[in-house]
């Protein structure tokens, strides 16, 4: 379980540009939930993910994973239990390295590197098995550089990289936003498959209301650092994309977009 308790986040404290984004923000996410997060530009979605991952500090509050407060845990240590896929696949991977090298790096996250780190045959078989589960033929392209793949193939590899080692949370940060509609759909289907098969808890920020409604067990809508809609279970099932769009339009008009 992930709990955010009484979070305060102030950007540029003490400066004329000071901005309090989160003021006494609270959120609890149950194990195994697939949470979709939508909201207007600047509502705080990415900041929320960054706070959980430890990319940005907070002024106050607790971040509790499975009962342990991780506020003081540095970013690289948090990444042992958190996988993240970004909109831009070159974040979190190396375009100049091959698929095999990228997977091997991901496999060794949080570990010290010895001479034998890239040479383990059984791990290579495991990488191939993981890649073949995508059904894109990438298991035959182990020695192809990541930068030479299409955007969709790169995101598929990023998904495998972020879930290669046992993690508790998968963070999806607009991970289909740069893809064409058909490829985006493929990546969403693969994402859902990986999340269900590996029984992960997932948080997905997206501007695609259909993906949010279709794939999330729970939908959160954010506005100005607050959660203004939180639906799961039957309540979520009865929420249509039009309902979401209407609420979204209302808050957008209110903030003058």
Ligand X SMILES: Nc1ncnc2c1ncn2[C@@H]1O[C@H](COP(=O)(O)OP(=O)(O)OP(=O)(O)O)[C@@H](O)[C@H]1O
* Token representation of residue 198: 């590996």
Tell me if 172 sits within 8 A of 194, measured CB to CB.
no
Q: Determine, following the binding rule CB under 6 A, whether residue 208 of this chain makes contact with ligand X.
A: no
- Opening angle at CA 206, ends 205 and 207, nearest 5: 140
Nearer to ligand X, 134 or 244 (CB): 244
Shortest reach from residue 42's CB to ligand X, in Å: 4
Distances (CA, A) of 25 to 7, 16, 46, 222: 5, 23, 15, 11
The tokens describing 204, both together, are 């997905």
Smaller CB separation from ligand X, 198 or 210? 210
Nearer to ligand X, 196 or 250 (CB): 250
For β-strands 34-39 and 218-223, DSSP reports them as parallel
Please answer whether residues 21 and 44 qualify as being in contact, where contact means their C-beta atoms are separated by less than 8 angstroms: yes
What is the nearest approach in angstroms of ligand X to the Cβ of residue 41? 3
According to the binding rule CB under 6 A, does residue 2 interact with ligand X?
no
For ligand X, how many residues bind (rule: CB under 6 A)? 12
Residue 65, Cα to own-chain centre: how many angstroms? 16
12 or 112: CB nearest ligand X: 12
Answer for the pair 116, 127: CB distance below 8 angstroms, yes or no. Answer: no
Contact letters for ligand X, residues 11-50 (x by CB under 6 A): xx------x-x-----------------x-xxxxxxx---
Shorter beta-carbon distance to ligand X: residue 134 or 213: 213
Q: Is 92 in the site for ligand X (CB under 6 A)?
A: no
Is 151 a binding residue for ligand X by CB under 6 A? The answer is no
């Amino acid at each position: 379980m992930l709990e955010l308790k009484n979070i305060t986040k102030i950007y540029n404290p003490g400066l004329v540009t000071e901005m309090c984004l989160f003021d006494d923000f609270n959120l609890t996410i149950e194990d195994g939930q697939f949470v979709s997060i939508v909201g207007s530009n600047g509502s705080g979605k990415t900041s929320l993910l960054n706070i959980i991952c430890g990319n940005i500090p907070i002024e106050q509050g607790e971040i509790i994973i499975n009962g342990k407060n991780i506020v003081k845990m540095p970013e690289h240590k948090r990444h042992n239990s958190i996988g993240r896929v970004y909109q831009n696949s070159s974040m979190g991977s190396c375009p100049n390295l091959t698929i095999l090298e990228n997977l091997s790096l991901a496999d060794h996250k949080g570990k010290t590197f010895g001479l034998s780190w890239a040479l383990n045959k059984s791990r290579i078989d495991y990488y191939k098995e993981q890649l073949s589960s995508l059904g894109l033929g990438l298991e035959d392209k182990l020695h192809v550089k990541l930068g030479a793949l299409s955007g969709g193939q790169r995101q598929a590899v990023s998904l495998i990289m972020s879930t290669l080692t046992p993690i508790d949370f998968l963070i999806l940060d607009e991970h289909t936003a740069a893809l064409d509609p058909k490829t985006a759909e493929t990546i969403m289907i693969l994402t859902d498959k990986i999340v269900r098969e590996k029984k992960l808890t997932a948080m997905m920020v997206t501007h695609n209301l259909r993906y949010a409604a279709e794939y999330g067990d729970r939908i959160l809508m954010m506005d100005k650092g607050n959660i203004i809609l939180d639906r799961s279970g039957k309540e979520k099932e009865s929420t249509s994309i039009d309902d979401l769009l209407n609420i979204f339009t209302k808050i957008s008009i209110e903030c003058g977009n």
